Amino acid sequence: MANSFKKHLLIDGYNIIHAWPDLKKSLKTLGLDVTRSKLADIVRVIHDTEKLRLTIVFDGKGSDVEIERPTPEKTFSLLFSPRGISADTLIEQLASNAKKNQEIIVATDDSMIALSASSSGAIVISSHALLEWVNACQERQLRIIKDHQSSIQKSWKKQSPWDILE
C-alpha cells in the first residue's frame, strides 16, 4: 500500500512550528515534545484526507536518522536528522532523491530550502498555504461525516420502529 502513494508531503517541522502562532506559543509554554505532537495531530488530516505520504522533518540529536511513527501507518512519519546534518539538508536530500514518478511537496517558509527543493522539481508551499490545506481537509472531513449521518437518518426514517425487533 505504501508504494501506491504518488505524493509525498515533506514538512519543515521547526519552521512550521515557529510560523504558526498557536504552535509557537505551545513551544514556549508546553515544550518541544508536546508541540511536535500537536503539529503531527494538526497535519494528520492532510495525510488521511489526501491519501499521501507525509513526513515531518526535525533536527535530531542521535548518530543516525531516527523515524517515529505516531500512528500505525508507515506513510505518516516524524523524521529526525542525525547529529551534524540539519533537517534542512535532510529535506533537500529527500526532495532530490525522490522517485521520478513521485510528486514531492515541501512545506516551509525557509527560502533556501524552497529554492533547493524547487530546483529538484518539488512543489513548495508556504506555512500559510499548509494551514489553508489543513483547514480545507478538515472541512472536507466534516462534509463527509455530515453526509454519512444524513444518509443514516434517512434510512432510519424509512424503517418502522418495530423493524428492529424482527
Residue 93 confidence (pLDDT) above 90: yes
C-alpha span between 149 and 49 (Å, rounded): 18
| pLDDT computed for residue 156 by the predictor | 63
| pLDDT computed for residue 6 by the predictor | 87
Residue 1 confidence (pLDDT) above 50: no
The mean pLDDT of the chain is: 90
| pLDDT computed for residue 102 by the predictor | 80
| pLDDT computed for residue 160 by the predictor | 58
The full DSSP string for 29-96 is HH-HHHHHHHHHHHHHHHHHHHT-EEEEEE---SSS-EEE-SSS-TTEEEEEPPTTS-HHHHHHHHHH
pTM attached to this predicted model: 0.86
What is the rounded average pLDDT of the residues 40-55? 95
Lowest-confidence segment of 35-44, 105-114, 140-149 by average pLDDT: 140-149
Sign of torsion, CA 111 23 28 106? negative
Label the pairing between strands 66-68 and 76-80. Answer: antiparallel
What is the rounded average pLDDT of the residues 1-12? 77
| pLDDT computed for residue 61 by the predictor | 81
Question: Do the beta carbons of residue 69 and residue 49 sit within 8 Å?
Answer: no
Instruction: Phi first, then psi: give them for residue 157, nearest 5 degrees.
Output: -65, -30
Residue 112 confidence (pLDDT) above 80: yes
- Give me the residues paired with residue 144 across strands: none
Top pLDDT among 158 and 54 is at: 54
Lowest-confidence segment of 58-67, 81-90, 150-159 by average pLDDT: 150-159
Q: Percentage of the chain surpassing pLDDT 70?
A: 89
| CA–CA–CA angle 19, 24, 29 (5° rounding) | 175
Top pLDDT among 166 and 53 is at: 53
What is the rounded average pLDDT of the residues 4-8? 81
